[in-house]
A and B are shown apart, each in its own frame.
Chain A
């Protein structure tokens, strides 16, 4: 998926709640790539333009699983907290 594709996908999945502008997108992608979570390669895109496509690496996938678990735990905890509040 190329950069713009990523931001389209986020917008679509979250039904427009999260919109990632290029100014945030590119630095984020580069940080992930530096850390070895994703890797990029050049490939032709729609309309035959050369774009940079990103995919998760193995360590990226592991990291994602870890982060998802973390998120769920925190998310559940916060929800529990909020429910007891009311």
Chain B
């Protein structure tokens, strides 16, 4: 083998093809002639000689083809030829090509959009250094069944000291704080962190530096601010680091600025939002706080190469030591759970996204089936052409390759169109703004998405090319050449097409059921009563800085007076305030409570959401009073300790009894501490959905604001007018009252409701689109197949009608063909839908995952689509004129 010779051959092939071909032709012909001469020399006539030579040659064209195949670079050459041919034939049948490309582009588009989201949310590594080493450490209290709970400062210290497989652990808690000073006061989210928190994530500051150990426990008042705040409030001042700024009524030193794209990627139930504008070290030594004051979220960095399971083992032994050392923790049976950050952050959205991704996959499958069907129909129409090619020396493999190349060309064009379509669809999707897609700021097309689409396209090519190829093997040359126009369908061919239709209906059924379930879930969530009346309700937050509103009395006085002033604004019906607004992302206040006659150890097992509310709050929210009374003016700081509980807590604690007059030991907030005090139940109200519209998590305990005067407050104003029209009067009023107080999140309550519904809406809208696409595609698919079979059978129909069949007989005949296939597909689809219903369990709300109404709807709507698909072909068959068809023969 000499590569120079081979290269020269390749060169000749590519650039002097015609000469090569002429030579080949001459050589083979010469040989043939010599052979003929010999036969004639043996005494045959010229005719007989040529015949004998032809028999010996077994086809000159086939020989030439074999020589061509033996050439260097033959495969490249013929592939180019196939490509050119494919483009030419596809361009010739414009209708077919348009339909096939559009169908496929639809499938690719849907998948591009969904995969972009899946990649951005589930797959892309978090933007921290070595993100796979980061893991959350949750507390589980087995005694109470409370899992995924925050930890206390002492627990954090114990883990830090005892763990062997964590490099370091850090803590965070997010509250709010106010920037004061010359400019307008501004309330922002503030994270209290251990000094190693930011450096542990491994991000680099945009300016200045992060915390050092000296800034620990407020040793030196220091703050790190977000890029956004830096730009917004300090005009991007390049010398910000080292400057003192007024914060919470005192001066603190800015150490540094976070990078522009920095976000916290924590799970939703950790109450750590993605954007936090300011970071300060924990104030005071958290390790000395009460061992059972659980509020710190712990993030750890595992040592390199340590798996989550190993880290879990490590913490199991740590927690056993902790339990042995402190009775509080053994009483509560404390456990620690290691949850890798990325997986934990996406745990709530993963099921819905995976379901949608699967749905998109099914849509693509249906699109492929449709395209395969189209190609098959065309391949059947092209039998004569294929037969001619076969008799001119094309091998079976060559013909299959030709069909695959056609599929490839289709998929390439459709893929490009699909990616464009998907990009547009993605933009529309992001407008639906599902709450959880916090990271969606940077969703888009990237190398991973394109690579995924390339793989999807290649699989599609195989799928699409396969069906027609199967059929071409069964080609009978003579038969096809003789009457390439009209042929009856062979059983094998019919079976392939029937299988395609059945699979289309099956997939369509599953998708329609899935869409139905998601729509019904959304409908149920729409109807949920959250425990209050969200319309005509204006809300906003304020934070009373401890430096100026130091005492409970000072805060209570401010709140009482200001409430009266707010109520006087024209258009306001009633006013109230609460420490933790429902459906907000402010860190929850939840703690143990203890009924009378229950020991302290058992009491630790009972947890409730705690809320401090002003007397007007429950009235303004229109939360229904079920028993007893609301709070009123007698429930002051110095009054008798009283509480209102929600129905679920009342039912669980005193089943079959009235809760009124019963006593609970509940946590209070007094003078900066959290003492437990006995309080009497004076009222029972309906349950309020504090965290999610679809989940009833815990019972609720309401304490009069003055008996637990927290520093953070959300106001609610029941209005007679459009809530937002009162925004300016409220702002003016606060400015007159206290120039340094900031209000934030001034918005109608309906916005919180919308956000709480957003992920269900996102899923429902997408599922509905998929379902509708599936229906339309199935109808088109059935139309294509039935139409094709009718057009092949016009002759038969004509004969039938000539022999006395009526138009309606023919219609029935055609419909029966379509509907039998549909029925089989539906039976399979029903089985498939039931099989996947289990995995949809976590996604539905208010209905069963085998919701009868949804299934009934699917069973009704699929045949309707099938009928729609059969209708035109059936009419066409019925109108076929016996005379015309017979004359055509």
User: Which residues in A have some Cβ–Cβ distance to B below 8 Å?
Assistant: 2-4, 21-23, 26-28, 30-31, 34-36, 45-47, 49-52, 59
* Residue numbers in B under 8 Å from A4 (CB-CB): 31, 34-35
Whether B6 lies near A35 (C-beta < 8 A) is: yes
Q: What are 23 inter-chain pairs, A to B, with CB distance below 8 A?
A: A3-B31, A22-B28, A22-B57, A22-B58, A23-B58, A23-B63, A26-B28, A26-B64, A27-B63, A31-B70, A34-B5, A34-B6, A35-B2, A35-B5, A35-B6, A36-B4, A45-B30, A47-B34, A47-B37, A49-B30, A50-B26, A51-B27, A51-B31
In the complex, chain B residues whose CB is within 8 Å of the CB of A27: 63, 66-67, 69-70
Q: Which residues of A contact B64 (CB under 8 A)?
A: 26
Provide the bound-state CA to CA distance between A13 and B72, in Å.
31
Per CB-CB distance, the 5 closest pairs between chain A and chain B, nearest first, are A36-B5, A27-B70, A34-B9, A52-B27, A51-B30
**Cα(A62)–Cα(B464), bound, Å:** 50
Contacts of A31 in B (CB 8 A): 70
Which of chain A's residues have a CB closer than 8 A to the CB of B62?
Answer: 23
Q: How far is the CB of A30 from chain B (nearest CB, A)?
A: 5
For B6, B23, B66, the residue with the greatest tally of chain A CB atoms inside 10 Å of its CB is: B66
Q: Is the CB of A51 within 8 A of B2?
A: no
Give the complex CA separation of A2 and B30 in angstroms: 10
With both beta carbons as reference points, the residue of chain A lying nearest to B23 in the complex is identified as A52
A3 to chain B, nearest CB (A): 5
Decide yes or no: A26 and B71 within 8 Å by CB, A47-B37, A49-B30 being known contacts.
no
Instruction: Considering the complex, give the chain B residue whose CB is closest to the CB of A31.
Output: B70
Q: How many A-B residue pairs have CB under 8 A?
A: 71
Closest to A57 in B: B5
B37:A26 contact, CB within 8 angstroms: no
Residues of B within 8 A of A59 (CB): 2
Task: For the complex, give the distance between the alpha carbons of A8 and B33 in Å.
Answer: 15
- Nearest-neighbour CB distance to chain B for A26, whole angstroms, equals 5
Cα–Cα distance between A30 and B63 once the two chains are bound (Å): 12
Minimum C-beta distance from B343 to chain A (A): 58
In the bound complex, how far is the Cα of B23 from the Cα of A30, in angstroms?
12
B70 contact set on A, CB distance < 8 A: 27-28, 30-31, 34
| Residue B722 is within 8 A (CB to CB) of chain A in the complex | no
Q: A23-B58, A27-B69 are in contact. Are A50 and B5 (CB under 8 A)?
A: no
| Additional 18 contacts, C-beta under 8 A, given A35-B1, A49-B37, A52-B27 | A21-B58, A22-B31, A22-B56, A22-B58, A23-B57, A23-B58, A23-B62, A23-B66, A26-B66, A27-B63, A28-B70, A30-B70, A34-B9, A34-B71, A36-B4, A49-B33, A50-B30, A52-B30
Q: Which residues on A sit within 8 Å (CB–CB) of B67?
A: 26-27, 30
Per-residue CB contact flags for chain B residues 10-32 toward chain A (1 = under 8 Å, else 0) read 00000000000001001110110
Q: Which of chain A's residues have a CB closer than 8 A to the CB of B58?
A: 21-23
Question: Complex formed: what's the CA distance from A47 to B40 in Å?
Answer: 12
Closest residue on chain B to residue A52 by CB atoms? B27
Determine the residue in chain A with the shortest Cβ distance to B12: A34
**Min C-beta distance of B817 to chain A, whole Å:** 46
Known: A21-B58, A27-B70, A30-B70. A46 touches B34 (CB 8 A): yes
**Closest chain B residue to A36, Cβ basis:** B5
Q: A2 vs B29: C-alpha distance in the bound complex, in angstroms?
A: 13
Q: State the CA gap A47–B31 with chains docked (Å).
A: 12
When distances are taken between beta carbons in the complex, the residues of chain B under 8 Å from A47 are 34, 37
Complex CA gap A70/B69 in Å reads 28
How far is the CB of B69 from the nearest CB of chain A, in Å?
Answer: 7
A7 to B238, CA, bound (A): 89
A51-B34 in contact (CB<8A): yes
CB distance from B24 to the nearest CB of A (A): 8
Which B60-100 residues have a C-beta within 8 angstroms of A?
A: 62-64, 66-67, 69-72
Which residues of chain B are within 8 angstroms of A23 by Cβ–Cβ distance?
Answer: 57-58, 62-63, 66
Residue among B4, B31, B33, B56 with max Cβ neighbours from chain A (10 Å)? B31
Q: How far is the CB of B31 from chain A (nearest CB, A)?
A: 5
Q: Are A3 and B2 in contact (CB-based, < 8 A)?
A: no
With a cutoff of 8 Å between Cβ atoms, the chain B residues found around residue A50 in the complex are 26, 30
User: Which residue of the partner chain, among B6, B33, B63, contacts A26 with CB atoms under 8 Å?
Assistant: B63
Question: Are B34 and A45 interface neighbours, CB within 8 A?
Answer: yes
Bound Cα distance A28, B58 (Å): 16
For the complex, what is the distance from the CA of A26 to the CA of B57, rounded to whole Å?
11
A residues near B56, Cβ cutoff 8 Å: 21-22
Cα A30 to Cα B212 with chains together (Å): 79
Q: How far is the CA of A26 from the CA of B30 in the complex (A)?
A: 12
Q: Which B residues are CB-close (under 8 A) to A35?
A: 1-2, 5-6
- Contact partners of B9 in chain A: CB under 8 A: 34
Residues of A within 8 A of B34 (CB): 2, 4, 45-47, 49, 51
Q: How far is the CA of A23 from the CA of B66 in the complex (A)?
A: 7
Give chain A residues whose Cβ lies under 8 Å from the Cβ of B27: 3, 26, 51-52
Distance from B593 Cβ to chain A, minimum over Cβ atoms (Å)? 90
Cross-chain contact B63 with A22 (CB below 8 angstroms): yes
For B26, list chain A residues within 8 Å (CB).
50, 52
- Chain A residues lying within 8 Å of B71, measured Cβ to Cβ, are 30, 34
Residues of the A chain whose Cβ atoms lie less than 8 Å from the Cβ of B72: 34
The CA-CA distance from A52 to B71 in the complex, in Å, is 18
A45 surroundings in chain B (CB, below 8 A): 30, 34
Q: How far is the CA of A20 from the CA of B790 in the complex (A)?
A: 51
Query: Which residue on B lies nearest to A26, using beta carbons?
Result: B67
A28 to B63, CA, bound (A): 11
Residue of A nearest to B69 (CB): A27
CB closest residue in chain B, given A59: B2
Question: How many angstroms from the CA of A61 to the CA of B64 in the assembled complex?
Answer: 27
What residue in chain A is nearest B37 (Cβ atoms)?
A: A47
Whether B31 lies near A36 (C-beta < 8 A) is: no
A51 to B37, CA, bound (A): 13
User: In the complex, what's the smallest C-beta–C-beta distance from A34 to chain B, in angstroms?
Assistant: 4
Q: Mark B34-58, 1 if CB is under 8 A from A, else 0.
A: 1101000000000000000000111
Please, how many angstroms separate the alpha-carbon atoms of A47 and B4 in the complex?
A: 37
Set of chain A residues within 8 Å of B31, measured between Cβ atoms: 2-4, 22, 51
What separation, in Å, do the CA atoms of A50 and B27 have in the docked complex?
Answer: 8
Which residues of chain A are near B69, meaning CB under 8 Å?
Answer: 27
Report the Cα distance A31→B2, complex, angstroms.
Answer: 12
How far apart are the CA atoms of A5 and B389 in the complex, in Å?
A: 32
Contacts of A2 in B (CB 8 A): 30-31, 34
A29 to B37, CA, bound (A): 22
- List the A side residues contacting B2 at CB < 8 Å: 35-36, 59
Nearest-neighbour CB distance to chain B for A67, whole angstroms, equals: 12
Chain B residues contacting A51 (CB-CB under 8 Å) are: 27, 30-31, 34
What is the minimal beta-carbon distance from B55 to any residue of chain A, in angstroms?
Answer: 11
Question: Which chain B residues lie closer than 8 Å to A34 at the CB level?
Answer: 5-6, 9, 70-72
Complex Cα gap A27–B71 (Å)? 8
> In the bound complex, what is the Cα–Cα distance between A31 and B27 (angstroms)?
15
Shortest CB-to-CB span from B46 to chain A, Å, is: 13
Shortest CB distance B853–A (Å): 68
Give every chain A residue within 8 A of B28 (Cβ-Cβ).
22, 26
Chain B residues lying within 8 Å of A26, measured Cβ to Cβ, are 27-28, 63-64, 66-67
Complex CA gap A21/B35 in Å reads 12
Whole-angstrom distance between the alpha carbons of A36 and B9 in the complex?
10
Considering the complex, give the chain B residue whose CB is closest to the CB of A34: B9
Q: Which residues of chain A are within 8 angstroms of B5 by Cβ–Cβ distance? A: 34-36
Measured CB to CB, the closest approach of chain A to B802, in angstroms, equals 51
Cα–Cα distance between A28 and B6 once the two chains are bound (Å): 15
Q: Nearest-CB distance from B529 to chain A (Å)?
A: 82
Nearest A residue to B2, CB-CB = A36
In the bound complex, residues from chain B placing their C-beta under 8 Å from that of A36 are 2, 4-5
A35 to B73, CA, bound (A): 13
- Docked Cα-Cα span, A34 to B746, in Å, equals 82
Tell me the complex Cα distance, A35–B63, Å: 20
CB A43 to nearest CB in B, in angstroms, measures 11
* Alpha-carbon separation in the docked complex, A47 to B36 (Å): 11
Which residues on the A side are within 8 Å of B33 (C-beta)?
A: 49
- Report Cα–Cα, A35/B56, bound state, in Å: 28
Chain B's nearest CB lies how many Å from the CB of A7? 9
Cα A2 to Cα B34 in complex, Å, equals 10
